[in-house]
Amino acid sequence: MTRVLSRNPSTGTERELNVNETTPDEVLRLCDRAASVALEHAGRPLSWRSELLRTMAHELENDAGNLVTLALEETALGQPRLEGELRRTAFQLRFFGDVVDDGAFLLASIDHARDSPMGPLPDLRRMRVPLGPVGVFGSSNFPFAFSVPGGDTASALAAGCPVIIKAHPAHPATSQACFDALVRGAQKGGAPEGLLGLVFGFEAGVALIDAPALKAVGFTGSVPAGRALWSRANARPTPIPFFGELGSANPLVVTSAAAKERGPEIGAGFAGSMTLGAGQFCTKPGLLFIPQDANGDALVTSLVEALNELTTMTMLTADIADHFRSGSVTIAGVDDNSHLVGDGPNGGTSVGPQLFEVPAAVFSDPSSRALREECFGPLAIVIRYLNRDDLSKALASADAALTFSVFTSNNDDDAAWLVELGHTKAGRVIANGFPTGVGVSWSMQHGGPWPATTNSSATSVGASGVDRWLRPVTYQGVPEELLPEALRDANPLAVPQRVDGVRR
Amino acid sequence: MTRVLSRNPSTGTERELNVNETTPDEVLRLCDRAASVALEHAGRPLSWRSELLRTMAHELENDAGNLVTLALEETALGQPRLEGELRRTAFQLRFFGDVVDDGAFLLASIDHARDSPMGPLPDLRRMRVPLGPVGVFGSSNFPFAFSVPGGDTASALAAGCPVIIKAHPAHPATSQACFDALVRGAQKGGAPEGLLGLVFGFEAGVALIDAPALKAVGFTGSVPAGRALWSRANARPTPIPFFGELGSANPLVVTSAAAKERGPEIGAGFAGSMTLGAGQFCTKPGLLFIPQDANGDALVTSLVEALNELTTMTMLTADIADHFRSGSVTIAGVDDNSHLVGDGPNGGTSVGPQLFEVPAAVFSDPSSRALREECFGPLAIVIRYLNRDDLSKALASADAALTFSVFTSNNDDDAAWLVELGHTKAGRVIANGFPTGVGVSWSMQHGGPWPATTNSSATSVGASGVDRWLRPVTYQGVPEELLPEALRDANPLAVPQRVDGVRR
């Protein structure tokens, strides 16, 4: 038995929790138990399901003081941020309750029997049903919103799936306490036992991917870990979908007109965005494209000044900080590269912000691969472009990303083509704003083309997050009384239905 | 240069077409050309896009006589079937025109800026955009409906994607003529040149999967070929989604009550369904579960009689017929297995129907794997069950499938649990009907859990087929004039929008 350790990144101290790493056998047992209650959970009324999510939100809030204290010790993310994140997480659970109540996620469609140019068509009724037990891998950088009680868990429960969660080793005590709150909510709601499971440890994570009862995986984390697990999910005897949100370098372009209009303001704002949460956001803007002129220079000056005013930051774990420092060294090694801000602390979890500057031609050179990859932490690359053509070539060489931001002025000739280009390279295109901050709403998309995520059609934030955990089933000629309620003519659940092709 | 050969499966004769197998370089060129016009196609008005699909349907119909003649020579599927399939294919193109006009497939959603419990939220607008060039692998068994002008091509064009099609070697002349009709439609519609491409040959198919410009693949075909290409799509430097519709054994259950009520009628109907198109349907019912009693015996007697009345059938190719015969031999080798109908012709493309019978316990034995796999062609396994428990265990051992059919009587105690079980094992649950015949409609689902398809959330028939070729993009704070029209407040396209969470 290996005890789970909780580490304080600020002090370096660690303590043993009263919980063991989960054995592969225990993981299998949890998954099988979840599978055994999957149909029962899926079959409960939608109104019960939405209320369950709200009860869980309530239980999280009831334990807010304790949860924030634990997260503060384990993540060093700061009290205001953690309190806000917990509020967001509770809001997210309630929001998915609204998504359940709305019912459109079922995509209920009824085609009555009819003649067609193909001959007679039978009665056909289609809706989406839950996949079954889902595995959720919590992130390091969001102990609440993308971890145990986060968007993957909330959306999977909303879709009607049991959830087995792999706690991130950066915050096991927080994970356990959050899980306990969710379980209290489940018990108060009268959920079937086994709807939720929590596992700890690297081996448990691998066993979870391999568990025959598991039907899909949600993951938020690094590119190497995510790709390894994605490959493993594909290598199963029965492969399962793996929704990995892996992060990206997130280009941010400032047009000539915008730099002229408000370069220093943008520079100061950028400093705040790239260092928010010690730069530990998958939406951190890591690539700043600005003109090679005096306005661009003023922007850089403002950015450098703002970064130099910042104090040392504490990263989530020593491993993450080490990785950040080695990433900085690799980037510094690229030729024709100016190190504008750097020389942070050299050990432990403490780091300082890092800023590099290269000409656009250097950025797009094949040998500059390191510049184009995400470096998790408070680091950004300034790319100076000479003209539109130079910018266009540099952007073409950038990887696809979660976000693509554009700062423009009024009647800006560069606005239209940049917005159009942005939508081909990212899941979210932002005008005159910073990409950090991913609001939970109906219209949010958090996920972009490979390598940002493993599945560009999916989102891990917002109402459409439920899509990942559903698959469609058509009932043909099935008598009314044997149909799911959402597909009955009388529509007892009052869900949106498309009937004979017409949206209702 | 290798000339493409067209073979007549009825006569065994072959002729050289005036076209070469496509070189990998040519494949790359076609994909790059498609990529260069992708944004232009995607940016055309929806009304133009739907009209293009209708023009293509018209061109197919205009050439119907020639197309059916070519397909008759290359497939031996018979004139009525081929005429019907071409009608269906033209209908399908028009149907996807309707899907485009409907506009709901865009999933347009607008959230105006507002305050929330998370703090202020920016203006967020989300819709789905086309992925870019899509590869389509035509099937052997549907020279029209699942080949060059079939559902994958129609849905990809409807989604706004260029399409490069790999012709199936079983019907190259039909493929070329269909392609020519689509191109005539594209030219009449004024589509950008390069919107469509056609490639021939095994190497060209592999090069298509590998082409950097390709963004997704639609495939209809065998499990081994589909899995190999799926793995290859995943192994690309930038993996792409591979939507493989690979076929399945398609269980069909007759309850005790239904067997008692109308066993012989069901048996005769089953004979027709399993031999339709020489059994060359991915929805062919391959597994027939019936009670081990006198009513079940009567059903089997009727089925055997109906099969014995059938004449020899011609399969699509000699390879497919050889594979069918070797599959039959493997199945015959399973212990405790009665060969009820068999001894068909032994060479060439001619085959006779094959029927086997085993007790349920034999079916679910681990050693009987061969019984549970699809055997493409006019072959089925009758599984005799003693009681509900015996049936339940046998069904549990069956693979997931495209379809799951149940024949019941009124007030049948077995109806409810079988329909519920069916929805966990298949993409389409059919009551009192045969699974062959997949209507094009809003509510069709053609795709089930692995191993039936590579992606259980996708369908290759019906309106939702467009979903495969789209990904969502959110526009944040983007000024009205730079937004796609579908996301503007004025809604100039009159597409369905969700506005601030409310469906419009």
Domain end residue (candidates: B398, B431, B464): B431
| Chosen from A214, A230, A466, A474 to mutate, greatest number of chain B CBs within 10 A | A474
Q: Do A159 and A293 sit in the same domain of this protein?
A: no
ipTM for the whole complex? 0.98
The whole-number pLDDT of residue B253 equals: 98
**Total tally of structural domains belonging to chain B:** 2
Q: Do A191 and A337 sit in the same domain of this protein?
A: no
Tokens 């959402």 belong to which residue? A486
pLDDT one-digit tens code per residue, A417-429: 999 999 999 999 9
Q: What distance in Å separates the CA atoms of residue B222 and residue A404, rounded to the nearest whole number?
A: 40
The whole-number pLDDT of residue B187 equals: 98
Q: Do A200 and A328 sit in the same domain of this protein?
A: no
What CATH number does residue B408 fall under?
A: 3.40.309.10
Joined tokens for residue A470: 């559903």
pLDDT one-digit tens code per residue, B428-465: 999 999 999 999 999 999 999 999 999 999 999 999 99
Check CB contact under 8 Å for A449 and B455. Answer: no
Q: Which of A98, A241, A473 sits opposite B427 (nearest CB)?
A: A473
Dihedral angle over CA of B115, B118, B122, B124, nearest 10: -110
Residue of A nearest to B128 (CA): A457
Rounded to an integer, the average pLDDT of A303-309 is 97
On whether residue A74 sits in a domain, the answer given is yes
Joined tokens for residue B471: 């990904």
Around Cβ B188, how many Cβ atoms within 10 Å?
A: 14
Q: Which of A121, A415, A471 sits opposite B439 (nearest CB)?
A: A121
Under the banding of pLDDT at 50, 70 and 90, the label for residue A247 is confident
| Chosen from A443, A459, A469 to mutate, greatest number of chain B CBs within 10 A | A443
Rounded to an integer, the average pLDDT of A26-48 is 98
Q: What distance in Å separates the CA atoms of residue A158 and residue A50, rounded to the nearest whole number?
A: 7
B74 near B170, Cβ under 8 Å? yes
Q: Which of A116, A122, A456 sits opposite B91 (nearest CB)?
A: A116
Rounded to an integer, the average pLDDT of A154-173 is 98
Which residues of chain B are within 8 Å of residue A35 when distances are taken between CB atoms? none
Q: Say how far residue A72 (Cα) sits from the centre of its chain.
A: 21
Q: pLDDT exceeding 70 applies to what percent of chain A?
A: 100
Q: Which 3-state string (H, E, C) describes B186-230? A: HHHHCCCCCCEEEECCHHHHHHHHHCCCCCEEEEECCHHHHHHHH
Check CB contact under 8 Å for B475 and A234. Answer: no
Q: Which of B87, B238, B459 sits opposite A117 (nearest CB)?
A: B87
The whole-number pLDDT of residue B426 equals: 98
How far is A52 from chain B, CA to nearest CA, in Å? Answer: 20
On whether residue A4 sits in a domain, the answer given is no
Please report how the helices B24-43 and B202-210 are oriented relative to each other, as an axis angle in degrees rounded to 10: 50
On whether residue B323 sits in a domain, the answer given is yes
Q: Exposed (0-12), middle (13-18) or buried (19+): which is A232, by Cβ within 10 Å? A: middle
Q: Do B361 and B327 sit in the same domain of this protein?
A: yes
Domain end residue (candidates: A431, A446, A469): A431
Rounded to an integer, the average pLDDT of A161-190 is 98
On whether residue B12 sits in a domain, the answer given is no
How far is A261 from chain B, CA to nearest CA, in Å? Answer: 18
Residue B455 DSSP SS3:
coil
B486 near B126, Cβ under 8 Å? no
What CATH number does residue A142 fall under?
A: 3.40.605.10
B31 is catalytic: no
A89 near A144, Cβ under 8 Å? yes
Q: Residue A437 — φ and ψ, nearest 5°? A: 100, 110
Under the banding of pLDDT at 50, 70 and 90, the label for residue A1 is confident
Residue of A nearest to B131 (CA): A424
Please report how the helices A388-397 and A415-425 are oriented relative to each other, as an axis angle in degrees rounded to 10: 10
CA-based nearest residue to A286, from A344, A353, A336: A353
Q: Which of A445, A455, A477 sits opposite B430 (nearest CB)?
A: A477
Q: Do A220 and A91 sit in the same domain of this protein?
A: yes
Joined tokens for residue B486: 């579908």
Residue B296 DSSP SS3:
helix
The pairing of beta strand A401-407 with beta strand B502-503: unpaired
The pairing of beta strand A313-314 with beta strand A350-351: antiparallel
On whether residue B64 sits in a domain, the answer given is yes
Beta bridge partners of A429: A404, B475
Catalytic-role residue among A21, A73, A245, A374? A245
On whether residue A451 sits in a domain, the answer given is no
Which residues of chain B are within 8 Å of residue A39 when distances are taken between CB atoms? 420, 424
- DSSP 8-state symbol, A467: G
Which residues of chain B are within 8 Å of residue A464 when distances are taken between CB atoms? 107, 126, 472
Which residues of chain A are within 8 Å of residue B426 when distances are taken between CB atoms? 473
How far is A45 from chain B, CA to nearest CA, in Å? Answer: 16
Tokens 């025109």 belong to which residue? B97
Q: Do B44 and B67 sit in the same domain of this protein?
A: yes
Which secondary structure element, helix H or strand E, spans residue A60, and what is its range? helix A46-62
Q: What distance in Å separates the CA atoms of residue A165 and residue A199, rounded to the nearest whole number?
A: 6
Q: Do A328 and A359 sit in the same domain of this protein?
A: yes
The whole-number pLDDT of residue B230 equals: 98
Q: What distance in Å separates the CA atoms of residue B470 and residue B160, rounded to the nearest whole number?
A: 8
Q: Do B257 and B235 sit in the same domain of this protein?
A: no
The whole-number pLDDT of residue A375 equals: 96
Count of positions (residues) in chain B: 504
Residue of B nearest to A435 (CA): B476
Q: What distance in Å separates the CA atoms of residue B148 and residue B60, rounded to the nearest whole number?
A: 11
Q: Which of B98, B111, B131 sits opposite A442 (nearest CB)?
A: B111
B245 is catalytic: yes
Q: What distance in Å separates the CA atoms of residue A5 and residue A241, rounded to the nearest whole number?
A: 31
Residue A376 DSSP SS3:
coil
Dihedral angle over CA of B73, B146, B450, A227, nearest 10: 120
How far is A158 from chain B, CA to nearest CA, in Å? Answer: 17
Check CB contact under 8 Å for B110 and A443. Answer: yes
Q: What distance in Å separates the CA atoms of residue A263 and residue A401, rounded to the nearest whole number?
A: 24
Q: What distance in Å separates the CA atoms of residue A151 and residue A318, rounded to the nearest whole number?
A: 26
Where do the DSSP E strands lie in A73-207? 108-111, 124-130, 134-137, 163-166, 196-199
Joined tokens for residue B294: 């006198």
B383 near B303, Cβ under 8 Å? no
Q: Do A216 and A189 sit in the same domain of this protein?
A: yes
Q: Which of B39, B415, B482 sits opposite A482 (nearest CB)?
A: B415
A165 near A173, Cβ under 8 Å? no
Under the banding of pLDDT at 50, 70 and 90, the label for residue A311 is confident
Give the type of residue at A338.
S
Which secondary structure element, helix H or strand E, spans residue B337, and what is its range? none
Q: What distance in Å separates the CA atoms of residue A345 and residue A378, rounded to the nearest whole number?
A: 13
Which secondary structure element, helix H or strand E, spans residue B419, and what is its range? helix B415-425
Q: Do A145 and A58 sit in the same domain of this protein?
A: yes
The whole-number pLDDT of residue B146 equals: 97
Check CB contact under 8 Å for A419 and B129. Answer: no
Under the banding of pLDDT at 50, 70 and 90, the label for residue A346 is confident
The whole-number pLDDT of residue B345 equals: 72
Q: Do A379 and A468 sit in the same domain of this protein?
A: no
Residue of A nearest to B464 (CA): A472
pLDDT one-digit tens code per residue, A430-472: 999 999 999 999 999 999 999 999 999 999 999 999 999 999 9
Check CB contact under 8 Å for B472 and A482. Answer: no
CA-based nearest residue to A179, from A257, A116, A100, A89: A89
The whole domain housing A309 covers 251-431
CA-based nearest residue to B467, from A471, A121, A442: A471
Which residues of chain B are within 8 Å of residue A440 when distances are taken between CB atoms? 116, 118
Domain end residue (candidates: B431, B465, B484): B431
pLDDT along chain B (504 residues), means of 10: 95 96 98 98 97 98 98 96 97 98 98 92 98 98 98 98 98 98 98 98 98 98 95 98 96 98 98 97 98 98 97 94 95 94 84 97 95 96 98 97 98 97 98 96 97 96 98 98 97 97 94
The whole-number pLDDT of residue B14 equals: 95
Which secondary structure element, helix H or strand E, spans residue A347, and what is its range? none
B22 near B199, Cβ under 8 Å? yes
Joined tokens for residue B164: 């490069």
Which residues of chain A are within 8 Å of residue B442 when distances are taken between CB atoms? 109, 111, 126, 498, 500-501
Q: Do A364 and A225 sit in the same domain of this protein?
A: no
On whether residue A119 sits in a domain, the answer given is no
A168 near A139, Cβ under 8 Å? yes
How far is B369 from chain A, CA to nearest CA, in Å? Answer: 14
Angle at B341 (CA atoms; ends B338, B343), nearest 5 degrees: 105
pLDDT one-digit tens code per residue, A374-389: 999 999 999 999 999 9
Which residues of chain A are within 8 Å of residue B91 when distances are taken between CB atoms? 116-118
Tokens 């549970």 belong to which residue? B372
Check CB contact under 8 Å for A450 and B238. Answer: yes
On whether residue A2 sits in a domain, the answer given is no
Catalytic-role residue among B282, B357, B374, B375? B282
Strands laid side by side in the B379-385 sheet:
A502-503, A497-499, A108-111, A124-130, A470-476, B426-431, B401-407, B251-254, B287-291, B379-385, B354-359, B338-341
Catalytic-role residue among B21, B51, B59, B245? B245
Which residues of chain A are within 8 Å of residue B232 when distances are taken between CB atoms? none
